[in-house]
Amino acid sequence: MLQVGAGVEVTVKCRLGVDARDSYEELHEFISTVAAAGVRHFIVHARKAILGLDTVKNRSVPPLRHEWVLRLVADFPRLKFTLNGGVTSVEQVVHAWRAAPAHSYRGAISRIVEPVSSWALCARWARCSVRACTA
């Protein structure tokens, strides 16, 4: 594990690609190269970046490819991945976790868009698990 200082783990946050450099093979090569340097945790935004687009459009124009993050999880079983991009509900987080081996996902970054109180969100999360979710 690549560390800086006393026990501080290095984590890499990346997109699926940039502009025309957006094939799964290029992403795979990038993850492989960085992992060879000792990085074990990747936060993967499940969209490519398009240079010249503003930040807001870069979060909506490029298509989401959650399936590429799932492929990374399968291709790199010794690494940890956090899914980022387009996750807007507790149920989507649980769905992503169900689709991959439990040990491979470190987490998901979610922007809950529906109006819900913190207590209601906690109650929904409590009803959900990797095995089952009741909405």
Q: What is the pLDDT of residues 84-134, one digit of tens each?
A: 888 777 777 677 666 665 555 555 655 555 555 555 656 665 666 544 444
Please give the single-letter amino acid code of residue 24: Y
- The residues with which 18 forms a beta bridge, in sequence order, are 21, 49
35-91 pLDDT per residue, tens: 999 999 999 999 999 999 999 999 889 999 988 998 998 899 899 888 888 877 777
Give the residue from 103, 79, 78, 83 showing the smallest Cα distance to 95: 83
Domains of the chain (ranges; CATH) run 3-127 (3.20.20.70)
Confidence at residue 85, expressed as pLDDT on a 0 to 100 scale: 85
Using the predicted structure, report yes or no on whether residue 31 has a pLDDT greater than 90: yes
Q: The tokens of 124 are what?
A: 């929904």
Distance CA 44, CA 66 (A): 9
| pLDDT computed for residue 130 by the predictor | 45
pLDDT band for position 15 (cuts 50, 70, 90): very high
Please give the residue that has the higher pLDDT: either 133 or 27: 27
Confidence of residue 7 (pLDDT cuts 50, 70, 90): confident
Q: How far apart are CA 78 and CA 118, in angstroms?
A: 34
pTM of the model: 0.73
| Residue-wise burial string across 113-129, b where 16 or more C-beta atoms lie within 10 A, e elsewhere | eeeeeeeeeeebeeebe
Decide which of 6 and 12 is more confident.
12
If one compares 77 and 32, the residue with the highest pLDDT of the two is: 32
Residue 18: helix, strand or coil by DSSP?
strand
| Order of strands across the sheet that contains 80-84 | 11-15, 41-45, 80-84, 105-109
The SS3 of residue 4 is: strand
At residue 3, the pLDDT reads 54
- Say how far apart CA 61 and CA 49 lie, in whole Å: 9
Other CB atoms within 10 Å distance of the CB of residue 15: 18
Q: Report the alpha-carbon distance of residue 46 to residue 25 in Å, rounded.
A: 15
